[in-house]
Amino acid sequence: MQPPAEEQAPDRLASRQELDRAAALPVLLYFGSGIAWLLAGTLLGVAASLKFDLPDWLGTIAQLTYGRIRPAHLNVMAYGWASLAGAGCLVWLTSRLCRVPIRRPEWLIASVLLWNLGVAYGALSILLGYSQSVEWLEYPLPAAGIIAAAFLLFASSILATFRARKVEHLYVSLWYIMASVVWFPPLYVVANLPIYTGVVHGAVNWWYGHNALAVWFTPVGLTLAYYFIPKVIGRPIYSYYLSLIGFWAFALFYNWNGIHHLVGGPVPTWLQTISIIASVLMVIPVMAVAVNHHMTTIGNFRMLRTSPTLRFTVFGAMSYTAVSFQGSMEALRTMQEVVHFTHYTVGHAHLGVYAFLTMILFGAMYYITPRVAQWNWTRPGWIKAHFWLSAGGVLLYVAAMVVGGFLQGLAMNDAAKPFVEVVDLTRPYLTARTVSGILMGAGHLVFALLFVEVVLRRGPRRLAPPWEAGGAG
Amino acid sequence: MNIPPEVLLLIGISVCGSAVALAAFVWAVNTGQMDETESGALAIFDEGEPEGAQGQATGTGRQRRRSD
């Protein structure tokens, strides 16, 4: 038996609790507002999906037509939920990995307020009809400017903490965090500049669209997986060497991928070919991550039953492998001929942003929240329900969209088939999508209630809370 | 050849981004971040939360520790 941590190393424990206390307010603000946007975004997403089943529903209210609520859903989920929850996780993790209290916490609080303002401003603008009509960049300039300022405040706090670090060696997670905070701000600012026209605008659109995944959303998910899988299991990452190769290959190949969204479009063919090659080369860093996480977890799969953090994180890490291989294949011209402009792509997007990123964010929040709130989760059954609703929901979503989208693509390539037959063909799959959205939404509601309960310190205080014990969550 | 100014801007930004990556890589090699990869993997553990201490399970009502 391992002795209780208090007797074993009082200094280290005190310092870990200090770190959590210093980060508590900003982290909980990031998490709380992230979860609020998750609920709002779910509502928009389910409503958008429901319009395929009931085409006349809300059809007479311009602000609630499909063309507005779908981009509002995307932006609220990306810049509201995933970005705010991710930023909160990175604040906490940077402090842990640098072993110093987070620097400039007041800048972080300002960042949360601005960020929420920007997301709300942008979402309302889209609903009122002031969208920029460029996917992932729909927010009008003032909203984008506010979000950029919020991100810079966040980045400056992370960089200040990094510079004050008390460690010699930078753990692989820190590499991903640093890459995000250094590369995402210039990317976001440059892509939002109102100077592009024509084909260049299309190229910039997808250069941004894919690099937002490359330098922000994916690194957030990977950095958390690289920390929490070995941490919770209590076993170092299988091959640290491989993780470094993975990081540098990722940095080298990922930023070329964006133009694969324009295969068959009016951009130069050589540009499309380079992008397809780079998309396939992504197999290298993805294999590195997949092998590493699998070999670290192997032999400890029973822990998936007892640790919610590990259950969500491992589900997310497996989805990362799946979505990446799917993406590499999807970039090929033969595949594009079938799946371009179909629901298949929508399935791919949700496998990435939900099954990979969102599930890992849930896992990280299950670990971080009780430590910063100094109050443990109270309802194990609810946590299980949240996992199965989210996991089951997204698996149904992806299966329906991938199968339905592929059949839709084949049918659309058949010139003899009337378009309305293709629409009819997709209907059962779209109904399955609405059902899956409702399942995930129920999971989000459960998670939100659990979060509120922990933050308000309601419910019975549990034995051996995680911030006192030696282990992880 | 007539290259539009916004394309020059994009090329410039890309070159800067790559330069940052190259500088970070050179820095990492020179400061020994690429050596000692075995100890690097242990950076997430310490005396209070050592290697081998399995995670206490939040949300299950049970506590799991390795009993060796």
User: What is chain A's percent helix, strand, coil content, to nearest 5?
Assistant: 80, 0, 20
Q: Angle of helix A105-128 relative to helix A83-98, nearest 10 degrees?
A: 160
Q: What is the pLDDT of residues A227-280, one digit of tens each?
A: 999 999 999 999 999 999 999 999 889 988 999 999 999 999 999 999 999 999
Residue A96 has pLDDT above 60, yes or no: yes
Q: What is the pLDDT of residues A339-371, one digit of tens each?
A: 999 999 999 999 999 999 999 999 999 999 999
Q: Which residue has the tokens 């964006």?
A: A258
Percent of chain A residues past pLDDT 70, beyond the cut = 94
pLDDT for res B17? 84
Q: Which residue has the tokens 């194990």?
A: A380
Query: Does B30 reach chain A within 8 Å, measured CB to CB?
Result: no
* DSSP reduced 3-state for A1: coil
Stretch A164-186: mean pLDDT, rounded? 93
Percent of chain A residues past pLDDT 90, beyond the cut = 87
**Chain B residue whose CA is closest to A464:** B63
Contact A466, A376 (CB under 8 A): yes
> What are the DSSP calls for A163-194, one per residue?
HT---SS--HHHHHHHHHHHHHHHHHHHHH-T
Q: Angle of helix A105-128 relative to helix A141-163, nearest 10 degrees?
A: 160
Residue B19 has pLDDT above 50, yes or no: yes
How far does B1 lie from chain A, in Å, by closest CA? Answer: 16
* Cα–Cα distance for residue pair A65/A57, rounded to 1 Å: 9
Contact A338, A408 (CB under 8 A): no
Q: Which residue has the tokens 């996480």?
A: A293
Q: Do A234 and B57 touch (CB under 8 A)?
A: no
Q: What is the pLDDT of residues A432-472, one digit of tens each?
A: 999 999 999 999 999 999 999 999 988 766 655 665 544 44
Q: How crowded is residue A125: how many other Cβ atoms within 10 Å of its Cβ? A: 21
For A463, list phi and psi in degrees, rounded to 5. Answer: -65, 145
Stretch A299-313: mean pLDDT, rounded? 91
Which of A67, A116, A63 has the alpha carbon at shortest distance from A88?
A116
Cα–Cα separations (whole angstroms), residue B53 to A19, A203, A394, B63: 21, 49, 33, 12
Instruction: Provide the b/e sequence for B10-27 (b: ≥16 CB within 10 Å).
Output: beebeeebeeebeebeee
Nearest-5° Cα angle at A148, A146 to A152: 115
For A344, list phi and psi in degrees, rounded to 5. Answer: -55, -45
Its ipTM equals 0.81
Mean pLDDT of chain A: 92
**Chain B residue whose CA is closest to A377:** B59
Cα first-last separation, chain B: 72
Q: Do B55 and A183 touch (CB under 8 A)?
A: no
User: What is chain B's percent helix, strand, coil content, to nearest 5?
Assistant: 50, 0, 50
A74 contacts: CB under 8 Å, gap ≥ 6: A135, A136, A138
Query: Does B56 reach chain A within 8 Å, measured CB to CB?
Result: yes
Q: What is the pLDDT of residues A23-60, one digit of tens each?
A: 999 999 999 999 999 999 999 999 999 999 999 999 89
pTM for this entry: 0.93
Q: Do B25 and A182 touch (CB under 8 A)?
A: no
